[in-house]
């Protein structure tokens, strides 16, 4: 799953602070062994769970290339910018938790074609004074 590994590395490149993930996420190792990554039996990435990791930066749209991703948890970090709308309309994602970050921008309404699957979405906007 070389493409998935490259997608995850591009996500990592978009972070200005990664709390040591770069040490675990090495290009010459299997991404299924990386911290915060869960893979299915076929070796495809199914979960990206990086809550409370002190991450700073933006959420890269490269994550849409993880075609088997079903759970994305990036809560309790300091991520900024918008949430790529392609992630929400992905056919595989069931749970997205980006609560307690510093995201901005608008969330696009889900298309009617994606309403046939349950989607749990958690977003809390933090604002500064």
Residue 112: inside a domain = no
Residue 129: inside a domain = no
User: What is the mean pLDDT for each group of 10 consecutive residues in the chain (129 residues)?
Assistant: 91 92 89 96 96 95 93 94 81 86 70 49 48
Q: What is the CATH number of the domain that holds 30?
A: 3.80.10.10
> What's the domain count of the chain?
1
* Of residues 95, 82, 114, 116, the one with CA closest to residue 47: 95
pLDDT of residue 86: 81
Residue 101: inside a domain = yes
- Measured distance CA(45)–CA(60) in Å, rounded: 16
pLDDT of residue 67: 92
Residue 127: inside a domain = no
Q: Which two tokens stand for residue 32?
A: 């299924």
DSSP type of residue 100: S
Strands 56-58 and 15-17 turn out to be antiparallel
Which ranges of the chain does DSSP label H, i.e. alpha helix?
2-13, 21-24, 85-88
pLDDT of residue 129: 40
Residue 34: inside a domain = yes
**Which domain does 42 fall in, by range?**
2-106+118-122
- Measured distance CA(81)–CA(45) in Å, rounded: 24
């Amino acid at each position: 799953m070389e493409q998935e590994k490259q997608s995850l590395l591009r996500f990592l490149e978009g972070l200005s602070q990664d709390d040591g993930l770069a040490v675990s996420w090495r290009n010459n190792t299997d991404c299924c062994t990386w911290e915060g990554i869960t893979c299915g039996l076929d070796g495809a990435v199914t979960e990206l769970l990086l809550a409370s990791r002190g991450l700073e930066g933006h959420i890269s749209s490269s994550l849409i290339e993880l075609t088997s991703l079903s759970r994305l948890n990036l809560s309790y970090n300091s991520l900024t910018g918008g949430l790529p709308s392609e992630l929400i309309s992905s056919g595989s994602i069931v749970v997205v938790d980006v609560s307690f970050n510093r995201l901005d921008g608008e969330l696009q309404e889900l298309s009617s074609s994606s309403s046939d699957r349950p989607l749990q979405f958690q977003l809390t906007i933090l604002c500064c004074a």
